[in-house]
Amino acid sequence: MRSFRLSALAVLSASLLVGLMIGCGGETEVIVEKEVIKEVEVEKIVKEEVIKEVEVVKEVEVEKIVVATPVPAPIRIPELILTQTGNPVCLGADCASSVDEMDIFTQFTEPLMLLDPDNNLIPWLAESLVMHSPTDWTMTLRQGVKFHEPEYGTMTAKDVIASYYHDVREGTANKKRVPVSMQEAVLTATDGDDGYVIEWKLSGDGTASLPNHLAAMRTVVTAKGYIDVVGEQTSRHPMGTGPFVFQQWQPNVKITGSRFDDYWRGAPPIQKVVWKIIPDAFTRKQELMTGGAHILRALEPDSFDEVNNNDGTRAISVLSSRYVYVVLDVDEAPFDNQKFRQALNYAVNKQEIVDTLFGGFGAAAVNGVTHPFLCENDGGPPVYQYDLEKAKSLIDEARAEGAPVDDVIKLYAPNDRYVLDKETGEAVLGYWKAAGLNVEYYPQSRSVLFPLALRSFTEYKADIDGPFLIGNGNGLGRAEFPYELWLENKDGGRGRAFASPHPASWEEDLAAARLLASCSDESKALLAKMNKDVVDFAPWVFLVNFNDLYGVSDEIEWRPWSTEIRMLYEVDIR
């Protein structure tokens, strides 16, 4: 078994070393010149200090690499307007409750790694990230990356280290998202605080998914000095290295930013960006179709053709990295009864939800825990296909075993985060009632529900006393992500609440999965086993995976990413 792991790691290490060293070199102009250097003695007076430099002792001809200074792009879009379904909880990696918040703050504060539109892992503020083993990594940062506020200069190792420790500090929602090996990571600036090389030492067995977690915005970079001054308020007024400078957040109204002329990739062709917070789907659509917005997220399926046929707009679809489901607290009766949990799944007609709410194309019934856009998903049929009689029979069996199945079930759902989230919850409500259950429904704003629901085992139960609908967007591009986020039994994590007690093999399988190369035969086989185990255990009611639908103005050129991140740097005039 040991030799097998080493072989898999060798493949992964090689792929990371090759893939991550590519960088974004195509964005800067590189000129090769011939230059003759002669011995020169230079005296400069700098604040009364004399600096003597003797650079070369003999005449020699060398090739000198000159990187041309990026020239800011001309302003071609005075104001880019995007629609947002709800008011964010915060604008920082430490407290973010959802990817659509990351979509905003990553325009101001950037990640170290990134998944591109084709789900390829690429360096971003990190120039390279090399794995020596799952516990030992070396990161080299880009040089000359300026912060928005000139007093903080350019990004160095001390800023990245301070940002990471800030974003995964004790008590943050973000700490629950990362594996224990990253929670206890030690970062060291090997060439000094103002250098560009960082050694990452992960605890335990480590993980092969460190670059994926960094691409999923587990940390975004701001200046150490800024963190020292504003502390937790970084999530209310983000300041970083992104293409836009944060200007204002008017809760429930809008968020605005302005172009950063010294952006390291060259300034974008957009003068100002505005996120309009518009919970109502019809109003969002009208904003786009009448010229009041350029990019509309969460387009409802029944409006797809209307937007596509409208003069001046078009509709775009992309397979989403997100599915939605109903989380069940398996520690609490009657949800501690496996037959009852399975009954709740069989009672829901997922295909009817797809056909009636999502027009047959805006979503698809999920076939398990592994996200459909990943190679580890085997493309099999949906799980728990609708069978009302079987659901009723399992409910009767659970009742006979003493489960209080006739008690009132409180179902919670957001009403301003996902496409048709409130309506999907209503559908689940109806199906459960049809199975003879007593159910009450509590839809509410994501800014209220998510901070309460996405807490640790002991905390969340004080406010959420029933199942709740939520989504899982796989921004890591790794198949084990939902297992470690929702099902791992770690201190302060969500797993204690939603999948405990569970088989001990889950932890063993997850530990093994973290060390495997994505898409390897070993990874596919192990994830297939894990998927079957969890589906049978039924800690969730499995629902649908989205096809993300967008409305886009014909004035701009832009394509959506499956992770919901809208990289506005790429937007341009058509």
Q: What is the pLDDT along the chain (574 residues), one digit of tens a residue?
A: 333 333 333 334 434 443 444 333 334 333 333 343 343 343 333 333 333 333 433 343 434 334 445 555 677 789 999 999 999 999 999 998 888 899 999 999 999 999 887 788 899 999 999 999 999 999 999 999 999 999 999 999 999 999 999 999 988 888 878 888 999 999 999 999 999 999 999 999 999 999 999 998 889 999 999 999 999 999 999 999 999 999 999 999 999 999 999 999 999 999 999 999 999 999 999 999 999 999 999 999 999 999 999 999 999 999 999 999 999 988 889 999 999 999 999 999 999 999 999 999 999 999 999 999 999 999 999 999 999 999 999 999 999 999 999 999 999 999 998 999 999 999 999 999 999 999 999 999 988 888 887 665 556 666 788 999 999 888 888 999 888 877 776 655 555 545 667 777 888 898 899 899 899 999 999 999 999 999 999 999 999 999 999 999 999 999 888 888 888 888 888 8
pLDDT of residue 464: 82
Structure-block tokens of residue 92: 């920082």
Residues 275 and 333 in one domain: no
pLDDT of residue 453: 76
Can you give the residue range of the structural domain that contains 510? 320-548
Query: Partners of 325 in the beta sheet?
Result: 470, 542
Give the distance from CA 137 to its chain's centroid.
22
pLDDT of residue 545: 96
Identity of the residue numbered 333? A
Query: How many domains are there within the chain?
Result: 3
Residue at token pair 């060259």: 266
Residues 114 and 84 in one domain: yes
pLDDT of residue 173: 81
Residues 162 and 35 in one domain: no
- The overall average pLDDT reported for the chain is 85
Tell whether 74 is covered by a domain. Answer: no
Question: Using an 8 Å Cβ cutoff, are 168 and 175 in contact?
Answer: yes
Q: Give the pLDDT confidence of 346-381 residue by residue, as tens digits.
A: 999 999 999 999 999 999 999 999 999 999 999 999
**Cis omega (within 30 of 0) for bond into 381:** no
Q: What is the CATH number of the domain that holds 139?
A: 3.40.190.10
Residues 248 and 369 in one domain: no
Tell whether 557 is covered by a domain. Answer: no
Tell whether 503 is covered by a domain. Answer: yes
Question: Using an 8 Å Cβ cutoff, are 274 and 256 in contact?
Answer: yes
Pairing of strands 540-553, 313-327: antiparallel
Residues 223 and 355 in one domain: no
Question: Using an 8 Å Cβ cutoff, are 125 and 159 in contact?
Answer: no
Identity of the residue numbered 282? F
**Domain stops at, among 10, 43, 67:** 67
Q: Where are the beta strands (DSSP E) in 192-271?
A: 197-201, 244-250, 254-259
Residues 364 and 433 in one domain: yes
Pairing of strands 60-67, 30-37: antiparallel
pLDDT of residue 556: 94
pLDDT of residue 460: 64
Residues 268 and 325 in one domain: no
Give the distance from CA 7 to its chain's centroid.
29
Residues 177 and 311 in one domain: yes
Residues 336 and 403 in one domain: yes
Residue partners of 397: CB distance under 8 A and separation at least 6 = 339
Residues 39 and 110 in one domain: no
Tell whether 47 is covered by a domain. Answer: yes
Tell whether 127 is covered by a domain. Answer: yes
pLDDT of residue 16: 44
Residue partners of 306: CB distance under 8 A and separation at least 6 = 285, 289
Residue at token pair 């789900």: 119
**Residue 497, CB half-sphere, CA atoms under 13 Å: how many?**
23
pLDDT of residue 498: 57
Question: Using an 8 Å Cβ cutoff, are 217 and 111 in contact?
Answer: yes
Tell whether 73 is covered by a domain. Answer: no
Model pTM score = 0.79
Residues 60 and 119 in one domain: no
Tell whether 324 is covered by a domain. Answer: yes
Tell whether 41 is covered by a domain. Answer: yes
Distances (CA, A) of 56 to 33, 51, 211, 456: 18, 16, 40, 61
**Domain stops at, among 41, 67, 93:** 67
Structure-block tokens of residue 55: 């650079």
Residue partners of 75: CB distance under 8 A and separation at least 6 = 259, 269, 270, 271
Residues 535 and 386 in one domain: yes
If you ran DSSP here, which 8-state letter would residue 6 be given? H
Distances (CA, A) of 430 to 383, 410, 436: 20, 13, 10
Structure-block tokens of residue 358: 């999502």
